[in-house]
Structure 1
């Protein structure tokens, strides 16, 4: 499958200094209770960054990630992608490049290969085709060899299911992964396999890719991120020194 790393989809030069994603005072509220879930939030994610987001349960980390992925409607503010606001008609295209990965993967019945072919049946991917060689290389990186494509998803362990879900996303060449505690329910060995797969994907084209990883594990946070942000009560808290350092690196 051809990797599309040009900027034609947004009409800007990816080599510019514009953030990959920029949130400008985005907010989310609980429509039923009126509770503020995400305070007006500014956030910029540049290509080449690995961000780790930590914080107590219920502090709004998943709400923030889903807002960045435009999976839930914003109640205020705006997202920009490569310096351009995202029109409603472009949201499916945006989600193709900014991929949200949930803690517990949702797989369809059938084989691993059935799950990997599924995205190409959707309109958003009609210009792409399933690439078996690419998929095999991704599975090799995760320590899953010949025969794995034929496995039934009902027989997979939690770690194997998460690897399938990740490969299903990675084969589509996203620009950024928004990872919502993808290893929280996995054993340590499976968690490291997932980390390895994501790290290899990131390093393959580091200058054009980024990750935001929610984690409750301090040791994992040190392994998978260089920019550390904490969320408390729906508000981001980033040490000024960290933010300044990341700005100097860009």
Structure 2
């Protein structure tokens, strides 16, 4: 496995570091000795054939799955030194099939404020205008917030989950085939929203997986490639 390293980035600027990372499933190594550095403002693809563990890597970075070797560092701190619920708000994994609560889209957005780890967030009424601005960039009105979750399409559910994630103001987003359920027009709008989110803060970076090579070319400028062992 190898990565294409972006030239001219200082070591001091490291945001997230993978050191000799290894993942084993049923005594078989999926990947090991994986080293990579993500820097502020970067857009990085995780590429590789099916079965090379792209989703497993995203989940390991998000502290959702165990790793059997190596370590993950974020902002200079080892993952083991982070309060994990806090870490997951800053390094946030967007699932292919997001889990949403019963109720409306807006109720799902408001639900994150019930968690103690999110007490430092700006109150939702102050953030609602930002959500409406995001929706406008997707060509959707405020009525979307009133939609019941059970009435959403797969693509609309992904949009709702993304909006909920943005309320946490993450520094690193982990996109796992984020537009697989979207039509071409909404996919384009989703990509524009991601770009808008990143431009709001120069520290923000992301990893992105996709089976669409054209999308990877559009949305990323650096690549971590996983190969079969």
Normalising by the residue count of structure 2, what TM-score does the alignment of the two structures yield? 0.89
Q: Which residue among 27, 36, 39 is the counterpart of 1:34?
A: 27
CA distance in 2, matches of 1:179, 1:123: 25
CA distance in 1, matches of 2:98, 2:114: 19
Q: Which residue among 188, 209, 215 is the counterpart of 2:210?
A: 215
CA distance in 2, matches of 1:190, 1:107: 20
- C-alpha displacement of 1:229: 2.7
CA distance in 2, matches of 1:185, 1:144: 17
Verify the 8 A CA contact 2:22 2:69 in the aligned structure 1.
yes
CA distance in 1, matches of 2:27, 2:11: 39
Are the structure 2 counterparts of residues 178 and 200 from structure 1 closer, same or farther at C-alpha, using a change threshold of 3 Å? same
Q: Hey, what does 2:226 align to over in structure 1? A: 231
More contact order relative to length (CA 8 Å, sep ≥ 6): 2
CA distance in 1, matches of 2:149, 2:191: 21
The count of residues paired between Structure 1 and Structure 2 equals: 217
Q: Hey, what does 2:117 align to over in structure 1? A: 124
Q: Hey, what does 1:71 align to over in structure 2? A: 64
Alignment of 1:94-113 (within 5 A): 94-113=87-106
CA distance in 2, matches of 1:174, 1:89: 15
Verify the 8 A CA contact 1:25 1:78 in the aligned structure 2.
yes
> Which runs of 5 or more structure 2 residues have no equivalent in the other structure?
1-9
Normalising by the residue count of structure 1, what TM-score does the alignment of the two structures yield? 0.82
Verify the 8 A CA contact 2:72 2:78 in the aligned structure 1.
yes
- C-alpha displacement of 1:187: 2.1
Q: Which residue among 135, 138, 149 is the counterpart of 1:139?
A: 135
> Which runs of 5 or more structure 1 residues have no equivalent in the other structure?
1-14, 235-250
CA distance in 2, matches of 1:228, 1:45: 11
Aligned CA RMSD, in angstroms, stands at: 1.7
Q: Hey, what does 1:56 align to over in structure 2? A: 49
- C-alpha displacement of 1:89: 5.1
- C-alpha displacement of 1:148: 1.4
Q: Which residue among 146, 158, 161 is the counterpart of 2:154?
A: 158
Q: Hey, what does 2:5 align to over in structure 1? A: none
- C-alpha displacement of 1:125: 0.6
Are the structure 2 counterparts of residues 16 and 137 from structure 1 closer, same or farther at C-alpha, using a change threshold of 3 Å? farther
- C-alpha displacement of 1:53: 1.7
CA distance in 2, matches of 1:202, 1:208: 8
- String of CA shifts for 1:36-67, please: whole Å, max 9, x gaps: 12212111100110011221111110111111
Verify the 8 A CA contact 2:24 2:31 in the aligned structure 1.
yes
Q: Which stretches of structure 1, 4 residues or more, deviate above 6 A after TM superposition? A: none
Q: Hey, what does 1:204 align to over in structure 2? A: 200
Q: Hey, what does 2:184 align to over in structure 1? A: 188
